[in-house]
């Protein structure tokens, strides 16, 4: 791989001002003092030994430097040091920054493919178009994944019409309720406030894959089976032509007063309805028809069966031993336990119902080590259930009675899938919080030995250090977690539907 000449200006507290030859190789940044009188392409120079400036580029942040005394300077920040390097021109400076960032990205991809020591795909230095081409391709992959998921959400049964007035082709969504709305009902939902309904445009707003996974678990038919279960003839549902005042009155009755809400099922009804879910993993099949069997009339069974009657049929497959849980009857029964059990069984519709009934999203279950519903979603490895709670303002760092946060639970499960870890980090989880034994998630990551997880946690630790000097320091690790490679990990996590 080709290298280039740079001037080393600053390393930690020491200032330098001499030219060196730098090279990116095997995931490291190497350097050699420039020999006077020798050409940069001198073969004797190329064969000389190099010293290591950065031993692992994955731990580094690369950014332009706002150095008022020098031009064409960029900065390399690692957990243990900081380096300022000066190029000969702005074009050369930009090429170095792009090449280093691209090298870091390829290192992450190599590790993810189980080939951490192979760096054949690292970029050639000073290429005018390859970095931009690669970054553009990543953006296009991400956008296509989001677009495909939006179209899937559109295809769910009932989503072809507005959830509240049945107007055709709704273009708005309430992301915490999991429904699609027309523009008029979307405006009414905005009036409810974000604590009740978070409205977003399907086309004009930015979407995360995690949010769309939640939308995929719900949909208008499922949600209306909960919120319109007891809709009577006295309250006529609005249509596309209904005036704004009547529309607003209906929506407030439905979501604020909960006038038509399905009631809390008895505990024995809930357990009989979730027993099958416990013993089986539910997967989507492309088959277009299936037998739905006989339906009973209890509330939760109705909700679960409606959820199963989505556009794509589900088929049951035998789970691994790790997917099974003991179905012990709850010591007490109320809406909070209902939410907790829904989280345990990856059942987002049940969780939506529980929150509508008034369950506490940050419920502290004193009968189960003080665990929260969010912790239960992490133990069940459900991105949809976890993101549903976080979208509804669950606290991402709320610990159990032993001081263990959701990230404490997610870290040892990295070998079963890193999707929950990625989600928690993107939503603000702190890997440096210690439990009552003085152990943090960062320490746990060293035990499991996953290099990517270790790197993510170290980058966050580095960001916390940078915040002490710059409160507005950029969260560079977020862009890494948004890479399509890791988005696919989120998409692969198990769900109820």
Please give the average per-residue pLDDT across 428-437, as a whole number: 92
Confidence bin at 5 (pLDDT 50/70/90): low
Of 112-121, 183-192, 374-383, the one with minimum mean pLDDT is 112-121
Is 198 or 50 the better-scoring residue by pLDDT? Answer: 198
| Residue 68, pLDDT score | 61
Confidence bin at 372 (pLDDT 50/70/90): very high
Is 369 or 287 the better-scoring residue by pLDDT? Answer: 369
Is 75 or 127 the better-scoring residue by pLDDT? Answer: 75
| Residue 484, pLDDT score | 66
Q: Give the pLDDT confidence of 82-140 residue by residue, as tens digits.
A: 788 888 888 888 888 888 888 887 777 665 554 434 333 333 443 344 545 656 776 77
Of 79-93, 313-327, 415-429, the one with minimum mean pLDDT is 313-327
Distances (CA, A) of 94 to 76, 87, 90, 240: 13, 9, 6, 54
What would the two tokens of residue 175 be? 């992301």
Q: Give the pLDDT confidence of 36-59 residue by residue, as tens digits.
A: 444 444 444 444 567 888 888 877
Confidence bin at 289 (pLDDT 50/70/90): very low
| Residue 252, pLDDT score | 95
In this chain, the answer to whether the domains covering 152-255 and 324-491 adopt an identical fold is: no
Residue 417 has pLDDT above 80, yes or no: yes
pTM over cut 0.85 = no
Q: Quickly count: other Cβ atoms within 10 Å of residue 335's Cβ.
A: 17
| Residue 262, pLDDT score | 93
| Residue 470, pLDDT score | 60
Distances (CA, A) of 445 to 110, 399, 452: 19, 18, 9
Distance CA 104, CA 119 (A): 10
| Residue 33, pLDDT score | 58
Residue 11 has pLDDT above 80, yes or no: no
Domain definitions of the chain by residue range: 4-128, 152-255, 324-491
Task: Give the CA diameter of the chain.
Answer: 94
Mean residue pLDDT of the chain comes to: 76
| Residue 178, pLDDT score | 95
Q: Give the pLDDT confidence of 213-272 residue by residue, as tens digits.
A: 999 999 999 999 999 999 887 778 999 999 999 999 999 999 999 999 999 988 776 654
| Residue 97, pLDDT score | 85
Reply yes or no on domain 4-128 having CATH 2.30.29.30: yes
| Strand partners of residue 31 | 22, 51
Is 162 or 2 the better-scoring residue by pLDDT? Answer: 162
| Class of CATH domain 152-255 | mainly alpha
Reply yes or no on domain 324-491 having CATH 3.40.930.10: no
Q: Give the pLDDT confidence of 319-356 residue by residue, as tens digits.
A: 333 443 445 656 678 999 999 999 999 999 999 999 99
| Residue 448, pLDDT score | 82
| Residue 236, pLDDT score | 84
Please give the average per-residue pLDDT across 424-443, as a whole number: 92
Residue 274 has pLDDT above 60, yes or no: no
Residue 144 has pLDDT above 80, yes or no: yes
Is 311 or 375 the better-scoring residue by pLDDT? Answer: 375
Is 150 or 275 the better-scoring residue by pLDDT? Answer: 150
Per-residue three-class SS string for 240-301: CCCCHHHHHHHHHHHHCCCCCCCCCCCHHHHHHHHHHHHHCEEEECCCCCCCCCCCCCCHHH
Per-residue three-class SS string for the chain: CCCEEEEEEEECCEEEEEEEEEEEECCEEEEEECCCCCCCCCHHHHCCCCEEEECCHHHCEEEECCCCCCCCEEEEECCCCEEEEECCCHHHHHHHHHHHHHHHHHHHHHHHCCCCCCCCCCCCCCCCCHHHHHHHHHHHHHHHHHHHHHHHHHHCCCCCECCCCCCECCCEEECCCCEEECHHHHHHHHHHCCCCCCEEECCCCCCCHHHHHHHHHCCHHHHHHHHCCCCCCCCCCCCCCCCHHHHHHHHHHHHCCCCCCCCCCCHHHHHHHHHHHHHCEEEECCCCCCCCCCCCCCHHHHHHHHHHCCCCCEEEECCCHHHCCCCCCCCCCCHHHHHHHHHHCCCHHHHHHHHHCCCCCCCCECCCCCECHHHHHHHCCCHHHHHHHHHCCCCCCCCCCCCCCHHHHHHHHHHHCCHHHHHHHHCCCCCCCECCCCCEHHHHHHHHCCHHHHHHHHHHHHHHHHHHHCCCCCCHHHHHHCCHHHHHHHHCCCCCC
What would the two tokens of residue 159 be? 């989503």
Is 136 or 470 the better-scoring residue by pLDDT? Answer: 136
Share of the chain above pLDDT 90, in %: 39
Please give the average per-residue pLDDT across 168-182, as a whole number: 95
Confidence bin at 71 (pLDDT 50/70/90): confident
Please give the average per-residue pLDDT across 364-372, as a whole number: 93
In this structure, are residues 310 and 157 in contact, taking their beta carbons and an 8 Å threshold? yes
| Residue 123, pLDDT score | 38
């Amino acid at each position: 791989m080709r290298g280039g000449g740079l001037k080393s200006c600053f390393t930690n507290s020491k200032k330098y001002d001499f030219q060196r030859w730098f090279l990116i190789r095997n995931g490291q940044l190497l350097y050699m003092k420039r020999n006077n009188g020798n050409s940069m392409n001198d073969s004797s120079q190329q064969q000389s030994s190099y010293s290591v400036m950065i031993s692992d580029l994955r731990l580094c942040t690369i950014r332009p430097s706002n150095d008022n005394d020098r031009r064409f300077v960029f900065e390399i920040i690692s957990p243990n040091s900081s380096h300022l390097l000066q190029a000969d021109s702005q074009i050369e400076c930009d090429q170095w920054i792009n090449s280093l960032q691209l090298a870091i990205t390829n290192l992450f991809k190599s590790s993810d493919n189980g080939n951490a020591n192979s760096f054949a795909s690292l970029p050639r230095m000073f290429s005018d178009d390859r970095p931009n081409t690669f970054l553009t391709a990543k953006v296009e992959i991400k956008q296509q994944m989001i677009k495909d998921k939006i179209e899937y959400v559109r295809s769910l049964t009932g989503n072809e019409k507005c959830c509240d007035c049945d107007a055709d082709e709704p273009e708005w969504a309430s992301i915490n309720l999991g429904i699609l709305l027309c523009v008029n009902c979307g405006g009414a939902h905005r009036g409810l406030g974000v604590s009740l309904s978070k409205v977003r445009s399907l086309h004009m707003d930015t979407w995360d894959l995690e949010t769309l996974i939640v939308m995929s678990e719900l949909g208008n038919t499922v949600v209306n089976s909960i919120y319109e279960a007891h809709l009577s003839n006295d309250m006529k549902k609005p249509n596309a032509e209904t005036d704004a005042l009547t529309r607003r009155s209906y929506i407030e009755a439905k979501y604020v007063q909960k006038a038509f809400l399905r009631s809390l099922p008895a505990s024995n009804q809930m357990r009989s309805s979730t027993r099958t879910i416990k013993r089986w993993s539910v997967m989507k099949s492309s088959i277009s028809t299936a037998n739905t069997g006989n339906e009973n009339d209890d509330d939760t069974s109705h909700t679960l069966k409606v959820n199963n009657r989505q556009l794509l049929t589900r088929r049951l497959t035998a789970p691994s031993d790790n997917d099974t849980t003991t179905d012990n009857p709850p010591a007490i029964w109320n809406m909070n336990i209902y939410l907790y059990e829904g989280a345990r069984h990856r059942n987002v519709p049940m969780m939506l119902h529980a929150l509508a009934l008034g369950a506490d999203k940050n419920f502290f279950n004193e009968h189960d080590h003080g665990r929260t519903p969010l912790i239960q979603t992490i133990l069940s490895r459900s991105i949809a259930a976890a993101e549903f709670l976080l979208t509804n303002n669950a606290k991402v760092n709320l610990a159990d009675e032993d001081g263990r946060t959701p990230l404490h639970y997610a870290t040892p499960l990295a070998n079963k899938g890193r999707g929950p870890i990625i989600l928690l980090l993107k939503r603000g989880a702190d890997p440096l919080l210690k439990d009552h034994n003085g152990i943090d998630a960062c320490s746990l990551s060293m035990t499991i030995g996953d290099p990517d997880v270790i790197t993510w946690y170290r980058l966050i630790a580095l960001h916390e250090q940078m915040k002490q000097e710059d409160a507005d320091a950029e969260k560079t690790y977020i862009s890494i977690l948004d890479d399509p490679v890791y988005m696919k990990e989120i998409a692969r996590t198990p769900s109820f539907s």
